[in-house]
Structure 1
Amino acid sequence: MNALKTTVLALFMSNFFQMNAQNHIDHMVWDQILLINVSDDGKVNYPGFIRDKYLFDKYFKSLADNYPKEESSKEEKLAYWVNLYNAIAMKMIIDNYPIKSINDLENPWKQKQITVNGIKYSLDDIEHTILRKMGEPRIHFLLNCATKSSPKLWNRAYTARNIMTALEDKSHQFINNPAKNVITDEKVNVSMVFQWYKDDFNNGDIVSFINQYSTTKIDKIMDQEYMEYDWSLNERR
């Protein structure tokens, strides 16, 4: 069934690229590859991505050639840069697969992987110099660096149409996912994401931010209440 899906996808996308190349930002190819190779719980079929690497590389190149302009909407910019971040992480894994963790690579956060409008970007560049400066803390629940403790990789592409709804939905999902945060009346253990990016969440008021989304409300977070981060690959086996 997957082989049939890939064949149909390849034929469709071949025509799609011919008709739409260089015209506008479109994440349809990424959407379809994700749908085929990522489960609903965010587990990734990396051999599947390698099988579809020709299409992935086409999409990746399209991001270098088609990018938001100054006058583009905030929604389009957010969708583009979040998709690009996740695609870069994916590229580094499938280019070096099999590996056990993105941290097996040499300085993965600083590797310049793509040139957009004359500027070379790494994961850190996109996260810190683009996305965090857009003043939208919920992006931290959409960015996936191919690890088990990351917010799960959505098996759909982000678009200007769905990005604002996704920011809200993924915040709820991440904060109330017991694999990412344990928040009960008896125990509080939250993701290291809240420690690493503390200032992004209500100017450091992590508790008030979490309580906007958590089904169980908390009063405080102690230093010892941050969960150990699992850097192993978010792989479907």
Structure 2
Amino acid sequence: MRKPLPFGISVFVALMLLASQAFAAPKSDLWPMWNQSNEANAASFDHQKWQQILDKYVVVKGQHNLFNYSAVTPSDKALLDQYIVDLTSLDPRNYSKDEQFAYWVNLYNALTVQLILDEYPVKSITKLGGFLSFGPWDDDVTRIAGKKLTLNDIEHRILRPIWNDERIHYAVNCASLGCPNLAQTAFTGENTEELLNEAAKQFTNSDKGAKIDGNTLTLSSIYEWYGVDFGNNEQAVLKAIDVFRDGQKLEGWSGKIKYDYDWDLNQP
């Protein structure tokens, strides 16, 4: 009969198994209460505070939009916190769908920055969250219309199932170098289409989106985790990338394909 492993080794093995399963992408699963709108309401959300933060702390360096977390002043952290309070005090269902999309994307990105700042310095967002968790995505981070929400709720139970637009993956930012860039401009009901196309173009033409090295094509793990949103097979995914890619087209690629993602913090 095999002896049980010592406690310390058992814990180590459990941690290694957890690490090997580090990121399991959630499925798109509609939260029905959020799939409502008032298209007759011409009012818009005020994202000026978020724009002030972006203007001051987003640093463009090569293919990356970095966020200068270490430079954020107490007054600007308070400005960010107040922006989130302002947004979450409103019920987005009372607004048009265009306004709602901008609301959710900006809120997701602002909450992510807030999470990092609350724990800074930190090397990776994956270090946040509860014991044995891989990041904070399943933690309750806000409350809207009396409901607690997580980042995963916003992305996978609201944005993805309601709008069914693969460009959402280029818009929400997870504070990591491998992630599509945090937009320099706050989303609004008017500029969403332009910003989504710009984000898609930036990512698909960057090395972190798709990089060719000889006979090997390295794609962002986003296309593996959320392949269902980009197409029903690998070639369909490549075709979806080509829509925004200016360089060598990928559809029909017959060489090796691998996936990669850099979880290091997106800071200068």
How far, CA to CA, are the matches of 2:48 and 2:255 in structure 1? 42
**Is the CA contact (8 Å cut-off) linking 2:208 and 2:220 kept in structure 1?**
no
Give the structure with higher Rg (CA).
2
Specify which structure has the higher proportion of helix: 1
- Whether the 8 Å contact between 2:218 and 2:260 is mirrored in structure 1 is no
Q: 1:164 to 1:99 in 2, by over 3 A?
A: same
Give the direction of change, closer, same or farther, for the CA distance of 1:25–1:66 in structure 2 (3 Å limit).
farther
Of the three residues 68, 78, 89, the one matched with 2:92 is 68
Larger strand fraction of residues = 2
CA gap 1:158/1:24 in 2 versus in 1, 3 angstroms: closer
Q: What is aligned with 1:119?
A: 147
Unaligned runs of 5+ in 1: 1-22
**TM-score, length-scaled by structure 2:** 0.74
Identify which of 211, 220, 223 aligns with 2:242: 211
Bigger shift: 141-150 or 182-191?
182-191
| Aligned partner (choices 127, 141, 163) of residue 104 of structure 1 | 127
- Gap runs ≥5 in structure 2: 1-42
C-alpha offsets along residues 17-57 of structure 1, whole Å, 9 cap, x if unaligned?
xxxxxx85210110111110111341111023353111111
Query: Equivalent pairs: percent with the same residue?
Result: 36
Aligned residue pair count: 213
Q: Distance in 2 between matches of 1:127 and 1:183?
A: 29
Distance 1:223 1:146, change over 3 A: farther
Offset of residue 150 of structure 1: 0.5
Query: Which residue is equivalent to 2:207?
Result: 178
Aligned to 1:230: 262
- Contact preservation (8 Å) 1:50, 1:94: no
5 Å-filtered alignment, 1:70-219, equals 72-106=95-129, 107=133, 108-133=136-161, 134-183=163-212, 186-204=215-233, 205-215=236-246, 216-219=248-251
- Cα deviation, residue 203, structure 1: 4.2
